[in-house]
């Protein structure tokens, strides 16, 4: 069984790379979430802070191999 969580934590490329290094994570992909539907997000427009979008990472993981708690703890530590 595969589970999915979306994480936001500063630089999405760094968070994506961290997630990809965790055994049990099947896929981690950077993207944007929660913005204004009429706006097509780009890195520069999102960084402007005017789009409503946030940098996020979609993480697919196998809960038999890695717990959600472990993923959240690692993502929290990476943002400190």
pLDDT tens digits, residue range 30-48?
Answer: 999 998 889 899 989 988 8
The domain that holds 19 is classified in CATH as 3.30.1060.10
Q: To the nearest whole number, what is the mean pLDDT of the chain?
A: 91
- Under a CB-based contact definition with an 8 Å cutoff, are residues 37 and 78 in contact? no
> Could you tell me the CA-to-CA distances from 13 to 43, 55, 64, 80 in Å, in that order?
11, 9, 26, 16
Please tell me which residue in 11, 29, 47, 68 is annotated as part of the active site.
Answer: 11
Q: How many domains does the chain have?
A: 1
Q: Which of 17, 24, 21, 19 is nearest to 1 (CA)?
A: 24
Catalytic residue flag (residue 11):
yes
Q: Which of 20, 11, 25, 21 is nearest to 54 (CA)?
A: 11
How many percent of the chain have pLDDT more than 70? Answer: 96
Boundaries of domain holding 32: 3-78
Q: Does residue 62 have a pLDDT over 90?
A: yes
């Amino acid at each position: 069984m595969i589970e999915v969580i979306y994480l936001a934590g500063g630089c999405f490329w760094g968070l994506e790379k961290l997630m990809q290094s965790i055994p049990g994570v099947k896929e981690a992909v950077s993207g944007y979430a929660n913005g204004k539907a009429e706006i097509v997000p780009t890195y520069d427009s999102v960084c402007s802070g005017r789009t409503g979008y946030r940098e996020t990472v979609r993480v697919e993981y196998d809960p038999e191999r890695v717990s959600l708690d472990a993923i959240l703890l690692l993502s929290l530590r990476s943002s400190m």
